[in-house]
Amino acid sequence: MAALDTVLAKIDANLDSALGRLFQLVEIPSISTDPAYAGACARAAEWLADELKGIGCEASVRPTAGHPMIVGHVKAERPDVPHVLFYGHYDVQPPDPLDLWDKPPFEPHIAEAPTGKRIVGRGVADDKGQLMTFVEACRAFKETGGVPCNITFFLEGEEETGSPSLPAFLSGNATELKADMALVCDTGMWDQQTPAITIMLRGLVLEEVVIHAASRDLHSGIFGGAAVNPIHVLARIIADLHDDKGRVALPGFYNGVSELPEEIADQWRELHARGSAFLNDVGLSVPAGEQGRDVLEMVWSRPTCDVNGILGGYTGKGSKTVLPAQASAKFSFRLVGKQDPDEIAENFKDFVKARLPADCRAEFISHGASGALQLPFSSEALSRARRALLAEWGNEPVLAGCGGSIPVVGAFKHDLGMDSLMIGFGLEDDRMHSPNEKYELSSFHKGIRSWARVLNALAL
């Protein structure tokens, strides 16, 4: 294996050709949600398999019930190095509305901006640019002697549609895909100069409740006051879900929720100003969650309960004096730590049933449940990745939480028993899923260099 400085110099020398390869991939309109682009998705898969073969991988396109996967393997010369699985996706969102793009979405180009040069085109940030940072790092290693770790590439084409083919593929290829850890690039930085490692993903419980009362809608002038109104019942249930300090009132809800290690809590407190701006950017100013918690804690490391939609009675124009026969609401619970999603779903159902008056019944419709994920804070791989990113960026990486979920990371943990290092170089303003999607040239260039440093650090 070549010295790291030699690999980094090769990355710098390869930058123009690396950009050219990224442009070729972005030019393929691999829109997974539209059947009209199935051929383009297949073409993108073949293109990536060829690129992996070009850097010494044994790579192949694997058919699925949907869009194909790509699997590739490349071995290090040393026998005593880790085996890592790298995950990325080649499919993209539709580019609509087309008239809001400055240039055609599948004609990538370099644009000038106050922050420097940026790459513009559909998929440059989500996830083709991110994916190619890792491929180009591996290319530089191969061109200077060989990769430092044993690497399995696993690239899919259905992430933007919920990865419907993923569970069966993981199950059928578990032995081939199993590694010491997974590397996932579908995340972002804290800001343009500060890298981040995502160490926590919240879990999710989705429940829908329908409150049934009378056998039909009723005239409120005739039945009002005597007949139970399911909207009122639902409103009381929703109001009872939080106490006056913003905590979720379900019995046992905070079982398995632990406080942050002091090192991470201190780091997040230092990032307080950015957390406050988080609300200001959407026209808000006062945090509405648990009292005594910082905004970053609320969205990264604390569990929540939210109502995502309510329906009942007449909702058209004007008024209609009706007592509805039913009312419904959709709820989401974001979970952290070791909270049990099945237990929370059952406790929620009991909570609702306990508040039903006579003549009402509740119908429950579940829309899925998954637990939270957390990288061990004392992980040696995490420590090595932190040092590698610090060396490249000159700023200590933020150990960030993620308010949402990345399903594939959960699948790697539950199905393959692997933790994931989540390192990406996207920015909040990259306009992912929107017109004029962009990826900073610095994210692409230093992202390649960062992966070289991380791989080197993992192998030491």
Read off the CATH number of the domain in which 389 is found: 3.40.630.10
Nearest Cα residue to 294 out of 313, 315, 270, 261: 270
3-state secondary structure of 278: helix
168 and 207 share a domain?
no
- pLDDT on residue 71: 98
What span, in angstroms and rounded, lies between the C-alpha atoms of 90 and 92?
A: 7
41 contacts 89 by C-beta, under 8 angstroms: no
Give me the number of domains the chain comprises. Answer: 2
CATH number for the domain harbouring residue 337: 3.30.70.360
- pLDDT on residue 2: 75
How many CB atoms lie under 10 A from the CB of residue 406?
Answer: 19
- Domain boundary (355, 370, 385) is at 370
25 and 164 share a domain?
yes
Give the chain's length: 460
> How far is residue 265 from each of residues 261, 293, 399, measured CA to CA in Å?
6, 11, 10
42 and 81 share a domain?
yes
Amino acid at 140: A
- Domain boundary (319, 339, 370) is at 370
111 has which bridge partners? 118
332 and 437 share a domain?
no
40 and 124 share a domain?
yes
Rg (CA), the chain: 25
Is 294 among the domain residues? Answer: no
Domain holding 221, by residue range, is 203-257+303-370
Is 40 among the domain residues? Answer: yes
Is 97 among the domain residues? Answer: yes
Is 284 among the domain residues? Answer: no
What span, in angstroms and rounded, lies between the C-alpha atoms of 50 and 55?
A: 9
452 and 353 share a domain?
no
362 and 398 share a domain?
no
Strand 304-312: give its sheet, edge to edge. 304-312, 326-335, 203-212, 361-370
> How far is residue 252 from each of residues 255, 340, 350, measured CA to CA in Å?
5, 10, 12
Q: What is the pLDDT along the chain (460 residues), one digit of tens a residue?
A: 679 999 999 999 999 999 999 999 999 999 999 999 999 999 999 999 999 999 999 999 999 999 999 999 999 999 899 999 999 999 999 999 999 999 999 999 999 999 899 999 999 999 999 999 999 999 999 999 999 999 999 999 999 998 999 999 999 999 999 999 999 998 999 999 999 999 999 999 999 999 999 999 999 999 999 999 999 999 999 999 999 999 999 999 999 999 998 889 888 888 876 666 778 878 888 889 899 998 889 999 999 999 999 999 999 999 999 999 999 999 999 999 999 999 999 999 999 999 999 999 999 999 988 889 988 888 999 999 999 999 999 999 999 998 887 889 989 999 999 999 999 999 989 999 999 999 999 999 999 999 999 999 999 8
53 and 193 share a domain?
yes
Is 348 among the domain residues? Answer: yes
3-state secondary structure of 371: coil
Q: What is the largest CA-CA distance in the chain?
A: 85
- pLDDT on residue 368: 87
Is 394 among the domain residues? Answer: yes
104 and 240 share a domain?
no
Is 275 among the domain residues? Answer: no
352 and 440 share a domain?
no
- pLDDT on residue 104: 98
109 and 179 share a domain?
yes
Nearest Cα residue to 86 out of 183, 159, 12: 183
Q: Is the dihedral of CA 384, 389, 392, 394 positive or negative?
A: negative
